[in-house]
């Protein structure tokens, strides 16, 4: 069987990489007030951060329509796919996966589509999608790839420290970090998103201490795979790379800028890590 992988733009996979790996990306929308932009098409990552810095309005996101997923699934079918696996960002944070499932149900007689809740976001999702696409290209069956995805989802960890809680609060994705609201003027929020939800993991008084907290998380993780440093246009990302240089060789670290979807909720200058535990 020829299996194709579909995901959404919260995976932070570039269009170039998607083309190389034969991945279909269904974009979410980004809104600044009354203006709406299609992620990756109308608004590049650099344009998003520039607009967020210049605008008095905090951005918001909107899930793709089921129709957008139908177009992607049909395109896979027309390209010769026998089946599609659609891997989406955490259902606890977005209705994107629900839209994908509605599209899959509508096309059930045309092509089998398996929709999977990755229970993660950004490079956590991106890593799963890349490895699933590699498995598909090597000729693995749908059942084998689904098993691989589910295993990676259980092993994915994601932690982050924010410079501001304002975007996350306004976007309604605060989850288990509700208690942090109102106390963040004196602290830098530290979050654990490994469950697919936003959970408070600590509070640090300074940016330096919050980066040290991320280092401690990484040090305590034990053997890991596929480490990515994620950041929202953070000017001190190199400082963090140096901070963990004795733990992980820089050559084995992937550094990814958060795209507009997750950057909308994380806000500017967020820094985080995603990895798979062994």
pLDDT in tens, 216-257: 999 999 999 999 999 999 999 999 999 999 999 888 999 999
Instruction: Give the closest residue to 25 by CA, choosing from 94, 102, 95, 96.
Output: 96
Percent of the chain at pLDDT above 90? 82
Run of H or E including 4: strand 3-8
Instruction: Residue 8: name the closest of 92, 50, 65, 46 by CA.
Output: 65
pLDDT for the residue 178? 53
**pLDDT tens-place string over residues 163-203:** 876 666 655 555 555 545 545 556 888 999 999 999 989 88
Q: What pLDDT, on the 0 to 100 scale, is given for residue 136?
A: 97
Picking from 236, 240, 239, the residue whose alpha carbon sits closest to that of residue 227 is 240
The full set of domains in the chain, from first to last, is 3-154 (3.40.50.10170), 156-277 (3.30.1180.10)
Q: Region 93-100: what's the mean pLDDT? A: 97
Write down the pLDDT at residue 166.
67
Give the span between the Cα atoms of 105 and 197, in whole angstroms: 26
The tens digit of pLDDT for each residue in 134-152 reads: 999 999 999 999 999 999 9
| Cβ atoms of 161 and 272 closer than 8 Å | yes
- Residue 203 has a pLDDT of 87
């Amino acid at each position: 069987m020829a299996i194709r992988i579909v995901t959404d733009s919260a995976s932070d996979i570039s269009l170039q990489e998607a083309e190389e790996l034969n991945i279909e990306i269904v974009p979410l929308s980004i809104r600044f007030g009354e203006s709406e932009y299609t992620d990756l098409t109308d608004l590049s990552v650099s344009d998003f951060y520039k607009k967020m810095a210049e605008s008095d309005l905090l951005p918001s996101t909107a899930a793709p329509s089921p129709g957008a997923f139908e177009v992607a699934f049909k395109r896979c079918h027309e390209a010769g796919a026998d089946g599609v696996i659609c891997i989406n960002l955490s259902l606890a944070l977005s209705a994107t996966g629900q839209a994908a499932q509605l599209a899959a149900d509508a096309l059930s007689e045309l092509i089998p589509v398996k929709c999977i809740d990755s229970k993660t976001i950004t490079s956590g999702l991106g890593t799963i999608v890349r490895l699933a696409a590699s498995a598909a290209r090597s000729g693995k069956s749908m059942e084998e790839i689904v098993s691989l995805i589910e295993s990676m989802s259980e092993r994915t960890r994601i932690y982050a420290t924010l410079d501001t809680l304002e975007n996350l609060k306004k976007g309604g994705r605060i989850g288990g970090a509700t208690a942090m609201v109102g106390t963040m003027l004196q602290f830098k929020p530290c979050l654990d998103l490994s469950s697919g939800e936003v959970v408070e993991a600590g509070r640090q008084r300074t940016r330096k201490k919050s980066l040290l907290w991320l280092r401690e998380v990484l040090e305590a993780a034990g053997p890991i795979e596929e480490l990515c440093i994620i950041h929202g246009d953070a000017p001190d990302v190199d400082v963090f790379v140096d901070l963990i240089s004795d733990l992980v060789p820089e050559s084995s670290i992937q550094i990814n800028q958060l795209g507009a979807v997750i950057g909308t909720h994380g806000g500017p200058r967020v820094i985080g890590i995603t990895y798979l535990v062994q």
